[in-house]
Structure 1
Amino acid sequence: MNRARGRRLPRRIAQLLIGLFLYGIGIAFMIRGEIGAAPWDVLSQGIALHVPLSFGVITILTSVVVLVLWLPLRQRYGVGTVLNALLVGPSADVGLFLIPPGQVLWLRICFFVIGLLVLAAATGLYIGAHFGPGPRDGLMTGLHARTRRPIWIVRTGIEIVVVAVGWSLGGNVGIGTLAFALLVGPLCQYFMRIFAIRLPAKPQAASA
């Protein structure tokens, strides 16, 4: 590790951990909005109706399953990948404990909007730290590399399957699910530009 990279390491670690914590809080706000959850959260909600486990624990287990699917795709894990799988679920449980359910409609809409913005900012934080993609992002990029299909087709296909399974299990699909699908990409791109940490080239790359 060169000296410039070493100086950035504390900020990168802090940004990663803050981003993962806020990601779970964003999920919790959107769920408490009760107008439709993000695709993978619809799946976790549906599973939670049938097993005696919390939403957060199910999110962890789902992430582990997704990481297993990385193996035939030959995707490489990063520190951020593993921490994403382990920390987002407990953070979401904390948010669900603190944010009251069953609010009036206007407040639930506010919860959803807050959650979407927090989740997008959190994505910019943890991806900008350069410690590896999240489990679901890696599945998307791995399938893209294997199938040679456009990234948007791969992502859309994954999320249609996930939403369909989650909805069949009782997960909350609604206007919020559609709003998430349309808005999360542009919002994440915006926050990634803000929070991306520029790293100097590795010595071998620089010499090459």
Structure 2
Amino acid sequence: MQLAVGLVAYGVAIGIMLRAGIGVSPWDVLSQGITKVTGIPFGLVVVLVGAVVLLLWIPIRQKPGVGTVANILVIGPAAELGIWLVPQQTVWWMQGLVFLGGLALLALATGLYVGARLGPGPRDGLMTGIHARFGWPIWVVRTGIEVAVLAVGWLLGGQVGIGTLAFALLIGPMVGVTLPLLRVPEPAPRVIPTTGEVPTRG
């Protein structure tokens, strides 16, 4: 339930930030750019990009979890829901408020779905997989991937703006607050009592 709520909220948050019209995260800039070039709905592009990223897990020997597959299938349609719910903003102060509201919801949603411990999203798994496979520092891997994705998305016509910068600066600290609060505790190790007796068949 926590995973499902988190993924739906995450997608809705993406749709809200898109409607603010002041820039979005690097991966959403890429999806937005692909939508502009191909005419494919944004939500479907999010699903397709997630599936392609998951294929990149194969050479780095990453294994998906239930949360990974759900991430691919749920976030795109939920983003379309967010786009449908919120009208396009054009007044600067409303754009800022709507974007910050979407960002806050996204931070909460990230804490929910990551804290569920049912598998990373395809993009996070790509980052951690490259780190584990090649030993490169995690910040180098993340920066390299997101800069490349942002550049391609921008060239395709995705919107880069102050919201993109705000996302880059704020999402880390915000998730740093929500994740510890929402992380599901790891199950305690199962202890099998020993009596020193050898079991016998009756």
| The two structures share one fold, judged by TM-score above 0.5 | yes
Q: What is the aligned partner in structure 2 of residue 11 from structure 1?
A: none
Q: Which of residues 87, 101, 112 in structure 2 aligns to 1:100?
A: 87
* 1:166 alignment counterpart: 153
Aligned: 1:133 with 2:120: yes
Task: State the distance in 2 between where 1:79 and 1:86 align.
Answer: 11
Distance in 1 (alpha carbons) for counterparts of 2:189 and 2:150: 40
1:105-158 CA-partner distances (Å, limit 9, x unpaired)? 111111110111111110000011110000100000011112211111110110
In the alignment, the residues of structure 1 paired with residue 121 and residue 189 of structure 2 have an alpha-carbon distance, to the nearest angstrom, of 23
Query: Which of 87, 99, 124 does residue 112 from structure 1 map onto?
Result: 99
Shift of 1:94: 0.7
User: What TM-score do the two structures reach when normalised by structure 1?
Assistant: 0.90
Q: Considering fraction of residues, name the structure with more helix.
A: 1
Q: Percent identity?
A: 54
Structure 2 residue 66 is the aligned partner of structure 1 residue 58: no
Q: Deviations over 1:7-51 (max 9, x none)?
A: xxxxxxx11000000000111111111111100000000000011
Number of residue-to-residue matches in the alignment:
192
CA distance in 1, matches of 2:21, 2:123: 23
The root-mean-square deviation of aligned C-alpha atoms, in Å, is 1.1
| Structure 1, unpaired ranges of 5+ | 1-13
Deviations for 1:140-185, whole angstroms, at most 9, x for unmatched residues? 0011112211111110110000000000000000111111111111
| SS across alignment from 1:73 | coil
> What is the alpha-carbon distance in structure 1 between the residues aligned to residue 187 and residue 74 of structure 2?
28
Q: Match of 2:33?
A: 46
Ranges in structure 2 where 5+ consecutive residues have no aligned partner: 193-202
Structure number with bigger Rg:
2
Find the partner of 2:55 among 68, 85, 105: 68
Q: Does 1:31 align with 2:18?
A: yes
**Secondary structure, aligned partner of 1:167:** helix
Whole-Å Cα distance in 2 between the matches of residues 104 and 193 of structure 1?
A: 35
TM-score, normalised to structure 2, is 0.92
Give distance in 2, aligned partners of 1:202 and 1:173: 47
User: Deviation at 1:201?
Assistant: 3.3
Select which of 74, 85, 88 maps to 2:72.
85
